[in-house]
Structures are given as C-alpha cells and as structure tokens.
Amino acid sequence: MAIKYVICPDYVISAADGQLHWVSEVRLMSLFNLNPKECIIADSRRPETFRGRERLIESLPNFYPRYGGEY
C-alpha cells in the first residue's frame, strides 16, 4: 500500500475545556478515519522522523490535531 498521508501528533488546547492535551498519532488516524498502512508519522518531538522524508512530507496531506475537536 502506498503512503498517502502524514500524521503530525501534537499538543492542542481544547476548545471544550481550555486544557492542553496530547493527541497521539494513533488517535489522529482514528479521528480522521485513516488506514495506518497509508500513513507516515512526523512527530515534532522527534526530529529523526523527518530526516530524509522532507519532500514526501511536503507533498502529502498533513493531519494535525484540531482546536475545535471536529474531525
């Protein structure tokens, strides 16, 4: 299966409770209903996840946590 999406786990301040929450790559794939086999992870806390993948990451749709919680 080809890579189609970039998952970008990150912190987000929730519109619902105003608190800071970590949204993991697993949770993002679930929220966006994406097949994990079609995703790569670009974790801002781990720069090694970007190395050698810059062009691929720039060319694919990137999925981030959303402030409003609507996915």
**What's the pLDDT score for residue 54?**
78
CB burial readout 3-36, b (16+ within 10 A) else e: eebbbbbbebeeeeeeeeeebebeebbeeeebee
Question: Per-residue confidence at 64, pLDDT binned at 50, 70, 90?
Answer: very high
pTM, entire model: 0.83
pLDDT in tens, 26-46: 999 999 999 999 999 988 777
